[in-house]
Amino acid sequence: MRRLHLFELEDQAWWPKFIRDGMTAYLSRIMAAFDMLAPLMPKLMEAAERSGAERIIDLCCGAGGPSALMASGLAERGSSLMVHGTDLYPNHAQLTAAAEASNGRLSYSSDPVDATDVPAHLTGLRTLFNGFHHMRPELARRVLEDAHDKRQPIAIFEVVDRRPANLIGLPAIPLLVALLLPTIRPLDWRWLPLTYLLPIIPLAVAWDGFVSMMRIYQPDELRELTTGLDGFAWDIGRIRLPAPGPPMFATYLVGLPRT
Ligand SMILES: C[S@@+](CC[C@H](N)C(=O)[O-])C[C@H]1O[C@@H](n2cnc3c(N)ncnc32)[C@H](O)[C@@H]1O
């Protein structure tokens, strides 16, 4: 399928913050419920070890779901790397709770951090989970150039790829939102009427999920985005996910400075 860059509600500056926060909190919740980071951890560990990074800077971290899963996953595997979450629209309530529950392994920036221009003091292995598809090719290229020019290693993951098989799960999204949303802590009570009376949040998550899938870069498109960034060694590919049904894949791109 051709890449289509339709609009995501979550990206709109006018989209109400508490609804965006509900949507990113749901993403964190579902990532944790299905342990969606586990299949990606070996590639992440490899990138962390080969980069020699002293910490992880998680860009586009949203409500901090992958940041927290990374922090605990790294600790379980004997790594002492800490994780620092950043986002253009940080979800303060969820990030504060995740940082408090992390035994000091997770911190976050309360100010907005743009993945296309990361402040120089935020050094470390940059990670992006389910965030790169938000960037049009010019911006996506800028994310890679920013890491390359500041010589900061980068590891990008999307938990799905852009193939028709991924459309199968889309109709289940509103139901999953309705089931999981009340289990989110801290819970914003304003989410409940917008889930069960007027289902704006479930439908918005489903719409953004569909648009996200249509925006995801395939490995050949990722390779093209790295053209000329020769100061880095690039490793790009797909990871088979342990899901029932037709084969499902995550996509990844890892860039490490050449010595
Ligand atoms: C689909 S969410 C993913 C959140 C989280 N990584 C996860 O997997 O649960 C994408 C996030 O990217 C953020 N984002 C979009 N454009 C950005 C940019 N230019 N710089 C930093 N964050 C950005 C959004 O605010 C949103 O929180």
Assess whether the C-beta atom of 79 lies below 6 angstroms from ligand 1.
Answer: no
pTM beyond 0.85? yes
Number of domains in the chain: 1
What is the distance in A from the centroid of ligand 1 to the CA of 168? Answer: 24
Assess whether the C-beta atom of 204 lies below 6 angstroms from ligand 1.
Answer: no
pLDDT tens, residue by residue, 27-80: 999 999 999 999 999 999 999 999 999 999 999 999 999 999 999 999 999 999
pLDDT at residue 14 is higher than 90: yes
In a domain, 114, yes or no: yes
| Closest to 225 in 3D by CA, of 119, 106, 152, 140 | 140
In a domain, 72, yes or no: yes
Boundaries of domain holding 169 = 9-257
Do 64 and 106 form a contact (C-beta atoms < 8 A)?
Answer: yes
In a domain, 135, yes or no: yes
In a domain, 81, yes or no: yes
In a domain, 216, yes or no: yes
Return the residue whose CA atom lies nearest to atom 26 of ligand 1: 62
In a domain, 2, yes or no: no
pLDDT band at 241 (very low <50, low <70, confident <90, very high): very high
pLDDT tens, residue by residue, 86-100: 999 999 999 999 999
Strand order in the sheet with 125-129: 106-108, 82-85, 55-59, 125-129, 154-158, 248-257, 232-241
What is the distance in A from the centroid of ligand 1 to the CA of 36? Answer: 17
| CATH number, domain with residue 21 | 3.40.50.150
Assess whether the C-beta atom of 109 lies below 6 angstroms from ligand 1.
Answer: no
Q: What is the model's pLDDT at position 64?
A: 98
In a domain, 74, yes or no: yes
pLDDT band at 246 (very low <50, low <70, confident <90, very high): confident
In a domain, 4, yes or no: no
Q: What number does the ligand 1 atom closest to the CA of 208 have?
A: 1
pLDDT tens, residue by residue, 134-156: 999 999 999 999 999 999 999 99
What is the distance in A from the centroid of ligand 1 to the CA of 134? Answer: 7
Q: What is the model's pLDDT at position 80?
A: 94
Helix H segments across 62-152?
65-76, 92-100, 137-149
Return the residue whose CA atom lies nearest to atom 16 of ligand 1: 134
Q: What number does the ligand 1 atom closest to the CA of 135 have?
A: 16
Return the residue whose CA atom lies nearest to atom 10 of ligand 1: 131
Assess whether the C-beta atom of 32 lies below 6 angstroms from ligand 1.
Answer: no
Q: What number does the ligand 1 atom closest to the CA of 62 have?
A: 27
Q: What number does the ligand 1 atom closest to the CA of 112 have?
A: 21
Q: What is the model's pLDDT at position 227?
A: 98
| Closest to 23 in 3D by CA, of 87, 108, 70, 91 | 91
User: What span, in angstroms and rounded, lies between the C-alpha atoms of 139 and 236?
Assistant: 19
pLDDT at residue 259 is higher than 90: no
Assess whether the C-beta atom of 64 lies below 6 angstroms from ligand 1.
Answer: no
pLDDT at residue 166 is higher than 90: no
Q: What number does the ligand 1 atom closest to the CA of 116 have?
A: 19
